[in-house]
Amino acid sequence: MPEYLLLRSPSANRVYAGEAATLSVAELELTAPFTAGASDQELAGVGYLAFSAPGLDDAASATIASQSTAFALFERSGDLLRPVALPAVDALDDDLVTIPKYQGKTNEQFTRLLLNVTLAAVTREATGPRQVLDPMAGRGTTLSTALLAGHDAFGVEADTKAFEQMAAFYSTWLRRKRIKHKTRTTPVRRDGKSIGKRFDATITTALGERQLTSFTGDTRAAADLFGKKKFDAVVVDAPYGVVHGSHTDVVGHSGRRDRTPAGLLKEAVPVWAGQLVHGGALGLSWNTLGMPREDLASVMEAAGLVVNEGGAWDRFAHRVDSSIRRDLMVATKP
Ligand SMILES: C[S@@+](CC[C@H](N)C(=O)[O-])C[C@H]1O[C@@H](n2cnc3c(N)ncnc32)[C@H](O)[C@@H]1O
C-alpha cells in the first residue's frame, strides 16, 4: 500500500506545544477511515504525519486536504518524497478565519479539528450542506470555519458587542472580496418586545450558495431562537471560566444556579441535544480543570446522547496554559 507523509502546518506546533503529533494522528484516524497505520514520523529532523492508503481518489484527497493541520502531502518512494498536490477544498478564502484577532478567540486550527471530528461522528447521511450550530459563537470562528468547509452556519452569542463585531467583519470582508452576497441585521421581537438581534448572510461560495444566521441571546434559549430548525452538528468551544469579564467567561445565569462553565453546560447541553437531528453530533471543547471528563459525559448521557469514547477519541486532551487543559468530547444523538 502506498505510504504518505503529511507535513503539518508549522503553526500547529505553536497551538498544541508538544502535542500536535498526537492530536493530528487522532484526527486522521477518525476522519479518514480509508487510511491505516497513522503515526508520527521524523525525517531529517522534520515531523510528519505518516499513513498508508490504497491510493487517493478525489474524495480521499479532499479528506486529507481538509485535515486541520494539512500543509503539504508527499508519497514516499524509497528514500525520496514525491509531492502530491492537495486539492483546494475550501468554499471561501481562509483569511475569513485568520484575519480576526481578538482576546478569547478559539484557535482556528483547533476549531477546524473540532468541526472535522464532530462531522465524522454524524451518522445521518448528508443531503446537502451540513447545518452547523455554534451556540456560543463569540466572533464566529466556528461559523466561518463551517462556511469554509462548505456548510451552512448558525450561531448564538450572549455578548452583543462580539455579535456586532462579527456582523461588521462579515459585511466588510464580503464586500472587499467582491463576493456576491446579501446581509442584513434585524431586531428580534417576542410579544412585541425587542429581545435582541439577528444577522443573516447569504453567500455565493465556490461550492454554491451558503447561509449564515446568528442571534444575540443566551445559549440556554437557543432552541427558542431557532424554533423548529434542527442541526446536523453542534460545535462549541465552551467558556474556560478563568478570566472574569473576558470573552472566555460565562455570560448570564438562570435563577440562583452557579455561573461556572460546568453549571452552564449542565443547563445548555440538554437544549443543544434537543436541537440536533437524529444521527447528529454535538462536539464540545472545554477546560477539564473546571469539569472532569466523567462529569461532562454524564451530562451528555443524561441529555440522551451517546458519547464517543475509546481509541482516538481519548487522545485530544492538551495543555493551553497553566489554567487551561483543553479536551474535546463528541456525542451522537441516536
Ligand atoms: C471560548 S468563547 C468562544 C469563542 C469563539 N469560538 C470565537 O472564536 O470567537 C465562549 C463564548 O461563549 C459566550 N458565552 C458565555 N456564556 C454564554 C451564554 N450563557 N450564552 C451565550 N453565549 C455565552 C462568551 O461570550 C464567549 O464568546
pLDDT digits (tens, 9 = 90+) for 122-166: 999 999 999 999 999 999 999 999 999 999 999 999 999 999 999
Tens-digit pLDDT profile for residues 88-126? 999 999 999 999 999 999 999 999 999 999 999 999 999
- Cα–Cα distance measured from residue 106 to residue 108, given in angstroms and rounded to the nearest whole number: 6
Amino acid at 302: A
- Cα–Cα distance measured from residue 127 to residue 20, given in angstroms and rounded to the nearest whole number: 33
pLDDT > 80? residue 274: yes
- For 173, the grid coordinates are 470582508
Q: Which residue from 107, 144, 157 has its CB within 8 A of the most atoms of ligand 1, so it is best to mutate?
A: 157
- What one-character DSSP code corresponds to residue 124? S
- Cα–Cα distance measured from residue 286 to residue 257, given in angstroms and rounded to the nearest whole number: 19
Instruction: Write out the DSSP string of 290-302.
Output: TS-HHHHHHHHHH
Q: Which residue from 99, 106, 136, 218 has its CB within 8 A of the most atoms of ligand 1, so it is best to mutate?
A: 136
pLDDT at 212: 98
Work out the angle at residue 139's Cα, subtended by the Cα atoms of residues 134 and 143, and round it to the nearest 5 degrees. Answer: 40
pLDDT > 80? residue 253: no
**Gyration radius from the chain CA atoms:** 20
pLDDT > 80? residue 248: no
Q: Which residues contact 63 (CB under 8 A, 6 or more apart)?
A: 31, 32, 34
Measured from CB, residues less than 6 Å from any atom of ligand 1 are 104-106, 136, 138-139, 141-142, 156-159, 162, 218-219, 237, 239, 247-248, 250-252, 264
Closest residue by Cα to atom 13, ligand 1, is 136
Beta bridge partners of 182: 202
Give me ligand 1 centre to Cα 142, in Å.
11
Question: Which domains does the chain carry?
Answer: 3-84 (no CATH), 95-332 (3.40.50.150)
Q: Which residue from 236, 251, 253, 326 has its CB within 8 A of the most atoms of ligand 1, so it is best to mutate?
A: 251
